[in-house]
Amino acid sequence: MSQQPTLPGPQDITRSQLPNGITLLHRANFNSPSVILRGYFNAGSIFDSDEKLGLADFAAACLMRGTQNYSFELLYENLENIGASLGFSAGTMSASFSGRALVEDLSLLLQLLAESLRRPTFPADEVEKRRAQLLTGLAIRSQDTSDMASLAFDRIIFRDHPYQRPEDGHPETIQAITRDDLARFHSRQYGPQGMVIVIVGAVQAAEAREHVEKFLGDWENPHQQATPSLPPVELLESITREVIHIPGKPQADLLIGATGPSRRDPLYTAASLGNSVLGQFGMMGRIGDVVREQSGLAYYASSSLSAGNGPGSWEVSAGVNVEQVEKATDLILREIGRFASGGVTPEELQDSQDNFVGRLPLSLESNSGVANALLNIERFGLGLDYYLTYETRVRSVTTEQVLLAAQTYLQPDRLAIVSAGSL
Amino acid sequence: MSEHTEITLDNGLRILLKEIHTAPLISHWVWYRIGSKDEPTGKTGISHWVEHMQFKGTPQFPASLLDKAISREGGMWNAFTFLDWTTYFETMPASKIDLALQLEADRMHNSLFDPQEVESERTVIIAEREGSENEPLFLLGEAIQTAAFKVHPYRHEVIGDTADLLSMTRDDLYQHYKTYYTPSNAIVALAGDFDTREMLARLRELYDSMPPGAPPPRLDRPEPPQDAEIRLSVEGPGETTYLQVAYHAPAANHEDFIPLAVLDSLLAGPSNLNMFGGGGISNKTSRLYKALIARELAVGLSGGGAATLDPFLYGFTLTIHPKRKAEETLAVLDEELTRVRQEPVSEQEIARAIKQARAIFAYGSENITNQAFWLGFSEMLGGYHWFDTYLERLARVTPRDVQRVAQTYLQPASRVVGTYQPAGSAA
């Protein structure tokens, strides 16, 4: 009964490149009078020195705080007056942006995107305001059991690797960054080479491209540096534990896991299906069943796999009363052991395969769902037909491949175990 | 807004259907008119706990089968308990929706409430509460709610008091379920890729034979007017001070609700009205951002209320700038609120609030789950017209209306001012 094919593919994704290096992906959706704009570019925290960690993130956060043609207030007047939004942030490998507007305002949204990317002036007073906000954010982070467990977990599993560092830095590194550091970072790192822009919504491909060309087509930066490639990471030698003391927090966050496959690893899909059985499917998979349903220890207990172009991470997390951390740890370790030694049953695999295939229409119904899909296609080189061939790829995974993925990454004697709370 | 169908079965069950054929999906919601608002002292949190038990199975759909069946089909499902209502939803590929229809009809009256499952869920919910207690803003919000309502049950958090979570029994929960989970106290709302005639026939098959159920008891404890400002302070770990200022506000069906939404939009930025998707609009040109954040009295600002059946609260949450005291920030907030009480706002500010709301609704319409949510939620508040006419009613708001609601509701005497103070710091 529905009127359009649901899965994006070469038949309705338009991918093109501007002469200056910007890649544009587009897919039309005329069901709602809105449009979404997302993308990324090579200005991540991988370029930050240890002393000024957080520079890339600070720079991204200041792009809209004053430009050659707009004050902070004027820029946001333009944006908010039309009910549009736009924001920037930085990760390790890239910085990214996300915006949306009613389709009648796409041109203005792209104009503001280009202005923020190309002509930020980093006004000293606005930089200081932003600094105070970032420092407050870090003070709040230091009280957040989940964030603090996560920081320690990354420090342990990604030791000696760029991923061990938090993109948002530390209070002392944010304090060390000057206004000139921000301007210098912008002039070296910001440019069209490697930039990807995705537009999804009630606009035709040709019109979307015209808008992008108009505002970003003549952008060049001969000084722009390429993002270095990432080294691999070895698993830990042995179980490594860390306890973070945060007074006054009755609930502890517990993280147990290791490095995982990259998004381009041949084992990625098998690991992803295995992860579903371990801690996602139904009510948080086997982990949810043991920790929440059978033992009543936690409101949330699940596993997750995060994978990018570099090494990924594969972790089980749970929020438990500080008195129950040991018990929950034992239960989770037992499940990881069972998973790593026995893998999954054919029925369990089938369930998760059905889930992966069945949930596609739901994950791709909105403009933002499609935009994320297009970003993944480009970022990980998945191919425009990725979603059309997805079912075959998912269904071809065997229980042996899941077991191999589990044994490769979740080795019970090489895990990081981190807890944070009033411990 | 596109057309929809409304019907009431003989047993009182309200059904709302809206065909949307943009994706092969259907979102199905069942709403019950029961939330923390009708919970007596000693039983606080019971509606939320019952919601948890509704995932523990019936003879036909045992717990272990239930979530697997939905997940296998690629569906998404969840439930929410609020002050006034409890709701359950499934969004499924259209061809698989019958599973959700059967499941909800079944658990309207066949849930088991197995005593062992009740006990295991007790500690899960206490863990859920402890997770919230880690958060300064939960601790502050709870203290403010309790101070603002001395009589009305809105004084309790939806999750309930720990004492009650420790003492309630399986029979209490089952009794609550049997009392409030009836066709005459429920709404079924569906949006998505179906044929209305066929869907209605299927719903009749599932629900027609169910008895309506007796009208359930309600707590009728209106809050008397508050005639003097209340100030409170909560101490806890951390370095960051928060300030919350909460005013008694009108119910969703009150004529002042819409002008207050406009006032909120221009003071603190537009609230995102969508439960799913949509994304928010920043508030950097709102009056309070300019007065408090741009002038470095605060580093974070949000405003907003809730669409509720009885009068609840409207207010602001401010993260205080590390170099400021909460009192300084409050003084400037008060200057701005005095200004909006004394001077009419401009037509342009109102026009802007309307455009923002129009954009937010457009973003939310991309999402079938969100569309079905609106269908049921607005029915809870008195009818789909509440949603359908929202933008029209917004467009009729005048500067005088905005000034009047500012004068009526933003009165120091009817507010609670609360601060979260890091332990050991000077107040």
Sequential DSSP letters for B48-96: HHHHHHTTSB-SSSBHHHHHHHHHHTT-EEEEEE-SS-EEEEEEEEGGG
| Whether pLDDT at B273 is above 80 | no
Tell me if A351 and B72 make a contact (CB, 8 A cut-off). yes
Q: How far apart are CA A138 and CA A127, in angstroms?
A: 16
pLDDT confidence of residue B1: 45
> B364 falls in which pLDDT band (50, 70, 90)?
confident
| Average pLDDT for B281-302 | 96
pLDDT confidence of residue B427: 42
pLDDT confidence of residue B67: 85
pLDDT confidence of residue A254: 98
**pLDDT tens sequence across B197-235:** 999 999 999 999 999 999 999 999 999 999 999 999 999
Q: Which residue of B has its CA nearest to A130?
A: B299
Going by the DSSP 8-state scheme, the letter that residue B398 receives in this structure is -
Q: With contact defined as beta carbons under 8 Å apart, do A312 and A263 qualify?
A: yes
The number of residues making up chain A comes to 423
| Whether pLDDT at B425 is above 70 | no
pLDDT confidence of residue B401: 96
**pLDDT tens sequence across A40-83:** 999 999 999 999 999 999 999 999 999 999 999 999 999 999 99
Tell me which residue of A275, A291, A293, A274 sits closest to B62, measured CA to CA: A293
> B274 falls in which pLDDT band (50, 70, 90)?
confident
Chain A within 8 Å of B115 (Cβ-Cβ)? no
In this prediction the pTM is 0.95
Tell me if A283 and B193 make a contact (CB, 8 A cut-off). no
pLDDT confidence of residue A229: 87
**pLDDT tens sequence across B163-199:** 999 999 999 999 999 999 999 999 999 999 999 999 9
Tell me if B283 and A80 make a contact (CB, 8 A cut-off). yes
In the block, tokens 């938090």 appear at: A166
**pLDDT tens sequence across B28-57:** 999 999 999 999 999 999 999 999 999 999
Q: Which residue of A has its CA nearest to B69?
A: A282
| Whether pLDDT at B362 is above 90 | no
| Whether pLDDT at B74 is above 50 | yes
Sign of CA dihedral A78, A80, A84, A88: positive
Chain B within 8 Å of A299 (Cβ-Cβ)? yes
pLDDT confidence of residue B388: 86
Q: With contact defined as beta carbons under 8 Å apart, do B111 and B57 qualify?
A: yes
**In this predicted complex, what is the ipTM?**
0.93
> B275 falls in which pLDDT band (50, 70, 90)?
confident
pLDDT confidence of residue B426: 47
Tell me if A85 and B279 make a contact (CB, 8 A cut-off). yes
Q: How far apart are CA B418 and CA B424, in angstroms?
A: 17
Q: With contact defined as beta carbons under 8 Å apart, do B217 and B153 qualify?
A: no
CA distance A184 to chain B (A): 25
Average pLDDT, chain A: 96
Average pLDDT, chain B: 94
Chain A within 8 Å of B306 (Cβ-Cβ)? no
- All residue ranges of chain A with pLDDT < 50 are 3
- What are the residues whose beta carbons fall under 8 Å from the beta carbon of B20, sequence distance 6 or more? B2, B191, B192, B193, B368, B371
pLDDT confidence of residue A2: 53
Chain B within 8 Å of A140 (Cβ-Cβ)? yes
Q: How far apart are CA B367 and CA B266, in angstroms?
A: 27
